[in-house]
Chains A and B, each alone.
Chain A
C-alpha cells in the first residue's frame, strides 16, 4: 500500500497474489474437509491468476477436522474489535456446529492465505459473506457424505450441532467427525448452496461475549512483547530530537563501556542492545549526539496555512444542479472554515516486534494490522524470498489504524541480521508518539445557503487533506459540489512534517465534524429545531429511522438552538453503517471546560452478527471519540513533537465517561456493514453542536479545548 492510499481505503478491495503453495498449507493443516473460498472481487482475482504458477483461486479456507473441530484460516487479525468472535459465529451458524467447536486461526502467514490487512471496517462486511457461503458449502458436503453412508437421499437429511440426522428417524445419524475421518476433501465454494435466512439463524444475531476473555483476564494472552526467545536481545533505538533532523556527530564511548551492552550503528540508525530492555534503555541515554535540526518554522498553529498553500488541484467527488442558481436563490449565505489537528493513535501497547533469523528462515512475532504486507516488506529488506518469512500475529494491544505501518519490524529485522541474534524491538511510549503515523491535520471549507423557507439552496464543500471518506453530503440539496484537495497522491511532495496514516474511520471524523456543524449553523439561523431541520432535508428512509430512533430514545423535545439545554445532534455514515447521536453537555463558562454528560447513539449496520460485540464497539467509539473532540492534539514545531507521553497528550479516562446509551436498528435482512468505526465519526459535531446549544458559541476547530471555548464565547 502506498503511504497515501489509506485516505481512499473505504469500500474497495484489492486482492493480490499468494506466496504459499496450496499443497504446502493443506499439509500443514492435516486431514479433513477443506472448503476454499475467496473474498474480494472475483473478476480482479481471476485476472491476477493468469500466467502465475501459484494457486490464486482462494484467499481463505476452512477445515472440518477429524476430531469434529472446525478451523477457519484467515489473514485477518484480532486487535480488540471482536472479529475473532463474530466470524466464528457466522461460520458456526452456517455449518451448524456449536460456537465452541470453532477455532479462528488468524494472521499467521504460514498457515493462512494472503490478506491485505485488517482495517476499514471490512472484515465483517466483505469477509463475512464468503465465509458464510463456505460454511453452507461445508454443510452440504457433509450431507452428501452422510447420504452415501446412511444410504438415504440427501433431501431426507438435516443437520444440528455437528450431527447429520435422517428427518423423521433421528436415531439414524452420523457426526461430522465420523464423516471426516481419514478423508482429505478439497472443495471450492460453488455459490450454489444458499446461506441461511435470518429466520433460520441460531447463532448469528445472538449476543456472544468475547471469545478471548479468559486469556486476557489472566495475563495468559501473549502480545508480541511477551515473546521471549533464548539468547534474545532487547533493542532500544536512538530517536532524533525532531523529524528531518540530521545527525552531525555522535559519541558512543560512554555507552560502549557498559557491560554486556552491544551498540549497532548503521549511518543514522543507532541501536543499543541488552538482554534486559531497561538496561538497554539506560544505556541509550549515555549516547551523546549533535543534530542539525530543521528550521521550517512550521508548528501546530500555522500548519493550516502551510497545508492550504501546499494543497494540490482539487478533484470533484460529487456534483449536481447549479451552484450559481443556488446562490442567487439564497436568503442567507454561510462561509465557514473548519480545522482539525494531528491525532496520535496511542494504543496502550506500543509497536513491538520480535525477529528471529535461523538459517534461511525468518520468524516474526509482531503487533501489526498487516502481517502479509509486513512479510513481503521484510523479505525485500533482507533480500530473501518471501516464502522464507513467517509472520505470526499474537494478540494486538490496540491498533486503530496505526499498526498498519510496520517500521518496528524493519528495525528488528535489520538488527537480527546484523547481530545474528533474536531481537525484540519494543517502542517506548516516546518512540510511539514520535514515530506514529498521525491522523492528518486537515481543513474543510464550506459555503452554503438557505432560502426564506429555510430550505438549503446550495452546498459547496472543499476538503483539504482529510480524504474523501465521509466527504460527500447526503442531504437533499439541489445544487451542490464536493471537492477534495488531498495529500498529493503519487507525487513526491508530502506537505506533512511527519508520517500520517489511517486513524479509526480516518477523515470521516473531520468531514462529519464540518458537515454536521454547518448543517447546525443553518438550522439555528433558520430558527428551526436541528433534528427537524435534518429530517426535512433527508430523503433516505434508513437515516431518517436512525435519527428518529436516537431522538426518541433521548427524549428530544424540539427547540431552536441555542436553547440553553446543551443538547446537540449529528448524523453520519461510515463503512456502510448509518449513525445518529444526540449528546448533552455542560459548559463551565468561567473555565471553558466541557463535560459530556450523556450520549445516545443509534445505528443501522444491516445484519448485526453479534449485538453485544457491536454495542461494545459503539461504546468504544463514543468514548474514544471524546478524546479527539475535547483534548487530543499533537503539538510540534520544526519537526519536534512536544507530546511524547500521556501527561500532555490526554486520552479519555474514567472521569470523562458520559452516560452512554446505544441502540442498534433491527435490520437482519440486509447485508452486514462495518461496526468498529462508524459511531466515532459523529463525536466532534455532536459535542460542538451541544456546546452551541448550551452557550451560543460555535467551535470551528478540533479539539474543543477550554481556551477555544472561551475564545468562541467572546465572538
Chain B
C-alpha cells in the first residue's frame, strides 16, 4: 500500500510516498540515494545493511518502512559532522579495520549501537556484540581493536 512515511533521516525530517511494505534498505538506496548502506544477504544474516533506528542497530533489509514512521534513522552517511569523522569512523581508519570496505558501514553502525549501550566493552563483549556482522576479507582482529580505540576516545559520549 502506498503511504506517506515521515521519519528523521540523518538528523533531517523527511517524508516519502512509498509502498510501506518495502524494506528500509531499498528505500534508503533508491528513494534517498543513500548507497552507503549495503545489501549483503537480504535475510538479516550478514549485517552489511545495518543502520540505526532510534539509536538501535537494525537490519534494514528486514525492516519495513512502515515500522520506522516518526522514528530517527541514522545511516553511515549521517555520522560525519561538519566534515569531522565520528570517532568510530576515525578508529576504523586508523586501525585499518577494513579491507574491501563493503561490510564496513554495517560494522561501524553496529559498533555505534554497541558503544552506545556499553561505554567500555571488554574484548569478549565486542566479539559477542559484533558476532552477527560478517566480513569475508578477515579484518576481524582490527575491527575489534578499532572498537576499543573508539571506546577510549569517546569515553561514554558520542
Contacts and interface: CB of A to CB of B under 8 A. Distances in A.
Contacts of B90: 217
Interface residues of B, number: 60
Interface in B84-142: 85, 89-90, 92-94, 96, 98-105, 108, 126-128, 130-142
Contacts of B42: 428-429, 645
B140 A623 contact: yes
Contacts of B133: 654
Interface stretch (A220-228, A245-253, A314-322): A220-228
B35 A228 contact: yes
A145 B41 CA distance: 56
Contacts of B38: 223, 225, 348-349, 397
A219 B37 contact: yes
A654 B140 contact: yes
B78 to A, nearest CB: 9
B33 interface: yes
B73 to A, nearest CB: 14
B36 A621 contact: no
A426 interface: yes
B138 A652 contact: yes
B67 to A, nearest CB: 15
A283 to B, nearest CB: 12
B46 A655 contact: no
Interface string B30-67: 10011111111111011010000000000000000000
Q: Report which residue of B89, B96, B144 has the largest number of chain A beta carbons within 10 angstroms of its beta carbon.
A: B96
A219 B138 contact: no
A225 B30 CA distance: 11
A209 B136 contact: no
Given A80-B99, A219-B36, A620-B99, A657 B140 contact: yes
Interface string A78-105: 0111100000000000000000000000
Contact of A82 (B30, B34, B99, B143): B99
A129 to B, nearest CB: 25
A80 B131 contact: no
B36 A278 contact: no
Given A398-B136, A645-B41, A217 B85 contact: yes
Interface in A642-683: 645-647, 651-655, 657, 660
A478 interface: no
A429 to B, nearest CB: 4
A646 B101 contact: no
Contact of B100 (A277, A279, A349, A621): A349
B138 A612 contact: no
A116 interface: no
A217 B89 contact: yes
A219 B100 CA distance: 12
A495 interface: no
A396 interface: yes
Given A213-B92, A657-B140, A348 B103 contact: yes
Nearest to B143: A654
A523 B43 CA distance: 47
A571 to B, nearest CB: 21
A485 B133 CA distance: 40
Nearest to B108: A217
A612 B139 CA distance: 13
B68 to A, nearest CB: 15
Contact of A276 (B22, B101, B141): B22
Contacts of B153: none
Given A277-B26, A623-B141, A655-B131, A646 B41 contact: yes
B151 interface: no
Contact of B99 (A223, A276, A616, A646): A616
Given A220-B36, A277-B30, A347 B102 contact: yes
Contacts of B131: 653-655
A215 B101 contact: yes
B127 A655 contact: yes
A549 interface: no
Contacts of B128: 654-655
A410 to B, nearest CB: 21
A58 B103 CA distance: 37
B101 A218 contact: no
A612 B42 CA distance: 34
A214 to B, nearest CB: 6
A222 B144 CA distance: 25
B89 A651 contact: no
Given A646-B134, A655-B131, A218 B99 contact: no
B63 to A, nearest CB: 12
Contact of B92 (A217, A645, A651, A655): A217
B20 interface: no
A652 B135 CA distance: 8
11 contacts: A216-B98, A217-B98, A219-B105, A223-B38, A277-B26, A348-B38, A348-B103, A348-B134, A624-B136, A624-B138, A651-B136
Interface of A: 79-82, 209-210, 212-223, 225-226, 228, 275-279, 346-350, 395-398, 400, 426, 428-429, 612, 616, 619-624, 645-647, 651-655, 657, 660
